[in-house]
Structure 1
Amino acid sequence: MALKVVVVGAGVVGAACAFHTASAGMDVTVVDRGPVGAGTTSRGEGNVLLSDKAPGPELDLARLSRRLWDEAGEELGPESFELEPKGGLVVASTTEGLAGLREFAARQEAAGVRIEPVDHVRDIEPHLAPGIPGGVRYPQDAQVQPVLAAAALLRGAVRYGARFHTGAVVGAVTGRDGRLDGVRTAAGDVVPADAVVNAAGTWGGEIGRRLGAPVEVLPRRGFVLVTEPLPPMVRHKVYSADYVANVASSDAGLETSCVVEGTPSGTILIGASRERVGFDATMNTAVIARLAAQACRLFPFLSEIHLIRAYRGFRPYCPDHLPVIGPDPRVPGVVHACGHEGAGIGLAPATGALVTAHLLGRPWRGVDPAAHTGLLPDRLFASGGVPE
């Protein structure tokens, strides 16, 4: 009999978990309190990046995920989620910064990332500001449309037999041995399960608590600006070298670093900000002004362009800035897949494959659980990162 799996969360990570578990022959039900991709996924830019990750567990997962995004494109059609293998360009504003960037890139290259040092950045991005001393191009960086990606993966899961159930998960149903038998929703429905995947994004900590397996997943607010549609002006995902440091920072205060990229519709997305303010969704115009000013310094033509909107959301992060992926030893049957911070979209396919491999007890789609023990939830227990 097929293993019954409930995936809590219909964002891109949950959809990827559903896609891979269903394709492995499991009996899958996705449960979410709202529509597909309506949470953090709908607030992202769609980054599929290797360029911002230092050698280690996250980069290893990102390299696997980059391959799996291509495989998903082959199966589902790349146009179904606007997969763009555009490449990334990281630029430095000073010669000292350029030296540091290239040292970082050399360590990434040793870990298997393709890099291309660029001395004349305006040769490949003509609208950049003059005077930039150089950068590094990352040809493997790509882009997807996040909500389309979640929807496409979930449609693929449904073709393999998965189901979608609308409802907020309020607790676990357990047997006498303490193992999960399913989940209960706010409407009183019981969805039976042999395993429950916690892919609830920013709410992963709360869902873990409701399942009896809390993990410390915290929100970090971020803003993204959207311009009016334009002819193609920005060819790559372009960002300043300090973005990498901001991603890894644990500071609670506001941090901004310039990220600029075009979309198939012609709009340009501008980010990125990060601040720990809980679930405060206030529209902060000072942050918007700061991001806009940084973008105009990088691409001066933007000073003449209109913004049409700004949106914000919450990145779900763990204290050590690594996602938590794998079975929870405290509650047999609970498998976590959350805490990806701003990398959830890029890491989604490999997360889904790794969750599937954990449930199967063997490698799946080239992802071996034994190679990713640094992402298991028990690392947080030792550091005191799990609330009681």
Structure 2
Amino acid sequence: MPEVVVVGAGIIGAACAEALTHAGLSVLVVDRGDPASGTTAAGEGNVLVSDKEPGPELALAIASRQEWPSVLERLQADVEWEPKGGLVVATTSLELLEKFAASQRDAGVEAIAVSSAEALELEPLLTPRVAGGVYYPDDAQLQPVLAATALLAAVRARGGEVRGGVTATGVRQAGARVVGLETSTGFIPCETVVNACGPWSGAFASAAGTPVEVLPRRGMILVTAPLPECVRHKVYDADYVGAVGSGEADLQTSTVVESTRGGTILIGSSRERIGFDGTIRVRVLQELAAKAVGLFPFLADVPVMRAYGGFRPYAPDHLPVIGADPRLQGLWHATGHEGAGIGLAASTGRLISELMTGRTPHVDAEPFQVGRNAVIGAAS
């Protein structure tokens, strides 16, 4: 019998399982689909500190950026890790961007102001309309499916198990504690269940009788045909920060352009709360393409190979939900990371492991607690 069953084999569930097995616990991971086939497969692989305002999420992002190399050292796997840095640019006023960067510096982020000429030196194919920007050396990128797969391989190597095609339907309780997980393939006895279902976390929590307010937020990405090296960093416009922190349900787009090791260019990003409607909207793709060409004019002549989208787990207060559920002993949650799950996964897994085994957390866990009003008050 496993001590812990992690529900969800995306990057967050995989990171939690890897950290728990690294701490010596026996773990089973279940997913209704194939491992790393949901939100993780629809991600860009960003490991960012540049897009977060000072506060708990930035503290978690800084810690996770420091944690990822240690995790990758344990995994000994090629996940296309690229610590290439990020460049945020403005084509009009620099005032708001510079003010934001100054606040991040006070929180410990290395944020280097660059002139228009310096921005073009970093990215020669940028539009000459760029007024300047901020360079973030610590921004990085990895391939999320490879990373999740490597994390799960480590779980198996330590005696854990990963099962796809298993739908979690609820938990079985004895009094006010968990004694197992109910699934489409039968009952799994265990002491602890971790809800790492991403945008489906709210539905699973409700099925467990402990609702949490985690909603899907749709995002779309364009992928170009492979090219010689032409975009050296993750590059985005200053509007991206505002879109990340917004709670608006309506469509928002901002320019994000970055290359992959395979030579393709990823173009984002969009955000809209439309439930689990997976319809490809041409209008969204047109906005992404037009804004990307505005930042990198050469893209106007580059063919788009495909487009894909996914649902990100959105919490109303924009903070992940990490920790034990105060209403049911043995139920834990690791969700609500929205578009930052790849970057925050390393520290999320470590934090779950530390809290579950009684070790001192490496970051302040209080802001992410499950019992906060924005998470369970809104869901009740």
Structure 1 window deviating more from structure 2 (146-155 vs 263-272): it is: 146-155
Residue type matched to 2:25 in 1?
M
Shift in Å, 1:198: 0.5
SS at match of 1:202: helix
> Structure 1 residues 130 and 381 mapped into 2: Cα distance closer, same or farther (>3 Å)?
closer
Q: Match of 1:254?
A: 251
Q: Match of 2:379?
A: 386
Q: Match of 2:47?
A: 48
Q: How does 1:286-365 map to 2 (within 5 A)?
A: 286-363=283-360
Structure 1: distance between partners of 2:142 and 2:314: 21
Q: Match of 1:12?
A: 11
Shift in Å, 1:75: 2.0
Shift in Å, 1:76: 1.8
Asked if 1:150 corresponds to 2:148, the answer is yes
Structure 2: distance between partners of 1:233 and 1:194: 51
Residue type matched to 2:151 in 1?
L
Q: Match of 2:61?
A: 62
Shift in Å, 1:178: 2.1
Structure 2: distance between partners of 1:328 and 1:126: 50
Residue type matched to 2:307 in 1?
A
Shift in Å, 1:93: 1.3
1:190-212 CA deviation, whole Å, 9 max, x = no partner? 22211111000010001111222
Q: Match of 2:269?
A: 272
Shift in Å, 1:363: 2.4
Percent identity of the aligned residues? 53
Unaligned runs of 5+ in 2: none
Contact 2:259 2:265 (C-alpha < 8 Å) held by counterparts = yes
SS at match of 1:214: coil
Structure 2: distance between partners of 1:51 and 1:151: 26
Contact 1:215 1:380 (C-alpha < 8 Å) held by counterparts = no
Structure 2: distance between partners of 1:348 and 1:164: 18
Shift in Å, 1:112: 1.0
Q: CA RMSD in A?
A: 1.4
Shift in Å, 1:382: 7.9
> Structure 1 residues 381 and 283 mapped into 2: Cα distance closer, same or farther (>3 Å)?
closer
Structure 1: distance between partners of 2:376 and 2:55: 19
Q: Match of 1:229?
A: 226
Shift in Å, 1:384: 2.8
Shift in Å, 1:357: 1.1
Structure 1: distance between partners of 2:189 and 2:141: 36
Structure 1: distance between partners of 2:86 and 2:70: 20
Residue type matched to 1:373 in 2?
E
Q: Match of 1:195?
A: 192
Structure 2: distance between partners of 1:236 and 1:73: 21
Q: Match of 1:163?
A: 161
Structure 2: distance between partners of 1:213 and 1:383: 8
Shift in Å, 1:22: 0.5
Match of residue 112, structure 2, among 93, 109, 116: 116
TM-score when scaled to structure 2? 0.97
Q: How many residues align?
A: 377
Shift in Å, 1:381: 5.8
Residue type matched to 2:193 in 1?
V
Runs of 4+ in 1 over 3 A off after TM superposition: none
> Structure 1 residues 164 and 3 mapped into 2: Cα distance closer, same or farther (>3 Å)?
closer
1:336-360 CA deviation, whole Å, 9 max, x = no partner? 1001100011101111111111101
Structure 1: distance between partners of 2:367 and 2:59: 11
Match of residue 176, structure 2, among 175, 178, 185: 178
Shift in Å, 1:383: 7.4
Structure 1: distance between partners of 2:310 and 2:2: 34
Contact 2:370 2:376 (C-alpha < 8 Å) held by counterparts = no
Residue type matched to 2:190 in 1?
A
Unaligned runs of 5+ in 1: none
Structure 2: distance between partners of 1:102 and 1:327: 38
Residue type matched to 2:78 in 1?
S
Shift in Å, 1:3: 7.6
